[in-house]
Structure 1
Amino acid sequence: MAPSIDAYTPTEVTEFISRAGRAKGTMRLDKVFLSSVSAGCLLALACGTTMSTNASPWFQDNAPGLIRTISALVFPYGLTLIILTGADLCTGSFMFTTVAALNRQLSWPKMLLHWFITFWGNLCGSLLVVALIFGYGEVFSADPFRSAVISFATKKQVTPEFHSIFLRGIGCNWLVCLACFLALQGRDMASKIIGIWLPIYAFVSLGFDHVVANMTFIPMAIWLDAPGISVGLYIWKGIIPTLLGNIVGGGLFVGTYYWYMYLLDTNSMTLTGLRKGGKTEEGTEGTVTPRGDDLESGAGVMESRDSAKLS
């Protein structure tokens, strides 16, 4: 028997993304918001781990590339928790809902509404962790952790130009959405985790900018009275260019590209399961159907009626 890789094809994954985008875009708005708050909280915890790992003066002075690599290796647990628990990160939604809209499974106004709610939900969740756990919990109040947070935020906000942050935002969400793509491509949890880990490691090690990660990095520095960093500066250079870059990276470089390559001018597929050779509830060999509310992994088992095009 010829060796094979037990994974979905890019065409199948792009169809999953379209169906998941439709499910996300039509979810009850209160659930979208709460799911987004959860995602903001989970990513904030990973950001805290990264800042804590960076708090090593000797490495910062003598081996800055090495300490950045180590931080990049631990940060991906944030997106892993988000994807595996089905929470909504606005940067991932830029890909999911764009593909659904291009594939006529979701209207453009609903796509934009989903973006709006997930952004503010992510911000609320991030600020909740920054204030309640990191701030009042005094996690970063003493050196070297306080100095590491301020130094990191200064390099993110004060030093670079607007256009540099925008371009780094493109690279960031290009990789983040590829992580979401690979998470859907794997059939088992280990494959999904590896698929998530590698692109996220890449974006952190390269120093790219993620709008939701900045919702923790910069407000934490403001909380610690970082010189030269204000709320106005954060909005101007921490949100606007990063958000625009993330939209381009996820919506255009990943979502639009894979829709054009694999779904444009093709017939909708009927996808029946997530695992080959699994056991059904009756004990017979067959496909394994996940819970219906597991939006991203469950996208592959929606019946063909769910792929009906919107007029």
Structure 2
Amino acid sequence: MPLGMSSLYNRYDLGHSLFGVEGRILYVDAVLAKGYPEPKITWTFDFDNGTTLRPGESLDRYHVFENGTLRITNVSYHDQGLVETIANNSVGKDRVVSAITIYVPPKIVELRTFRNRQLIKRPFEFYLMARPADSVAMQCVITRASPPPSYRWFRNGSPVVFGGRFTTDASGCLIISNVAKIDSDVYECVTSNMVGEDRRSVFLEVESLERKWVRKYLPCSRECGRGKRLITSECRISITNFKVDDNECSELRRPMSIRVTCNPEPCLDGATVKKWFCRGNKSTSKPSWIAFNWSKCSNVCGRGKQRRKVECVNPCTLEKAEGCSASEKPLRHRRCNEFRCYGDES
């Protein structure tokens, strides 16, 4: 009883060697079996504990059609192994054993960065800062891939030219020694094999040595009733505005600290309201809008928000009233501390 196997979808038939791609569909064509009585076809999988399926049967991701064709959906690396096709009838049987190899495209799960051989744990995965003369490294960490992938590095879209300060190692790690400001750029790792590729980018910024003093605004001493705000200065990197130790600006002239008035609005309480607004007979006092103290600003700098309670009341009894003019209603919300957090650059 001669048997034959042909290729169909997403794999090549190399004798009795088949391959598929992880995550896709693998078809293994129906066995061409001849005999009398007509032989019956069964499939057995060694990678699934010897599971046997007949035409019309299904199990999880495996299905055998009525014509004997096998379909494996969402192919997994664990589907790799031997599959046996058996044709038998009452007078004998024959079999074909095929080896299934599953190819897996590479997938980058992390782009690790190192500075002076120390792994950098940073809040932004795609950003790496270094200082002049540092040594940095960038490494693509991938999931299992088959066949083993290759690695390529690009700088701002152009292939990285290795040599001198730019080197790589067996794991595909990009190493830049003695970095300089001109090395600041976007670097992209591309890993690929015959069935797919993946890529991930990181921005390397080599900071400038230049430092500067910038304004620092401290909170107002009072929330109402005229307070004082101290405006001092702190040392920061010119380009990134990152804060550094004040000693790094010791050779620069530090601006003088000053105090300015802030939150000049009066603090309102019941006695103050009566003193300001109560006129004549309490029972006939005209209803008025009363705006109470502003809340604390939501931000110390860089634009925040304040709220306050506004009510229509009898100004002498402070009881809620009606009849206040809507056009005269004071604001309930306003912006505050709209100055830049890192000072005036002028």
State the TM-score bracket (shorter-chain normalisation): under 0.3
Q: Tell me which protein shows more strand as a share of its residues.
A: 2
With normalisation by structure 2, the TM-score equals: 0.16
The normalised TM-score by structure 1 is 0.17
Higher normalized helix content (fraction of residues): 1
Who wins on radius of gyration, i.e. which is larger?
2
Higher RCO (C-alpha 8 Å, min separation 6): 1
